[in-house]
Amino acid sequence: MSEEFDYNQRMDIRYNHHEVIDIDQIVEECTDQWFNQTLTKVNDSVTRIGIVEGEYHWHKHENEDEFFFVLSGQLFIDLEDKTIELNPNQGTTISKGVMHRPRAPKKTIMLMVETDTIDPIGTTGSN
């Protein structure tokens, strides 16, 4: 892929089963503007934390759905025909094959659930 993005995306699994997942500690340690960390694996899926501010790029995932759940802040997910607004304790699932762009006007903490084979960068494209 010729495009490069300034995202800190950690796909390693930080917590094993039966370990306490400490979101506050991860948020405190984060110095990146766009950060993802895989927290744990559940069967063939993973749960990730996203600590984000600003815009991600337009992209899609050809074979995987993607679930977003906002813990704090505010997340907008632009689709080709509308924008979904997520506030704390709200979530949505983006269907596979749908071009989308997440963006956060202020620091936002969210959880994502997706297959363990997903490439977070996705297939890029311009809208």
pLDDT tens digits, one per residue of 22-76:
999 999 999 999 999 999 999 999 999 999 999 999 999 999 999 999 999 999 9
Residue 27 placed within a domain: yes
Neighbours of 74 (CB within 10 A): 17
* Side chain identity at residue 31, one-letter code: T
Domain that holds residue 88: 8-124
pLDDT of residue 125: 61
Residue 73 placed within a domain: yes
Share of residues in the chain with pLDDT > 70 (%): 93
State the alpha helices, DSSP H only, in the chain: 23-29
Q: Is the pLDDT of residue 15 over 70?
A: yes
Residue 1 placed within a domain: no
Residue 102 placed within a domain: yes
Report residue 3's pLDDT band, with 50, 70 and 90 as the boundaries. low
Report the relative pairing of strands 45-55 and 34-42 from DSSP bridges. antiparallel
Domain count, the chain: 1
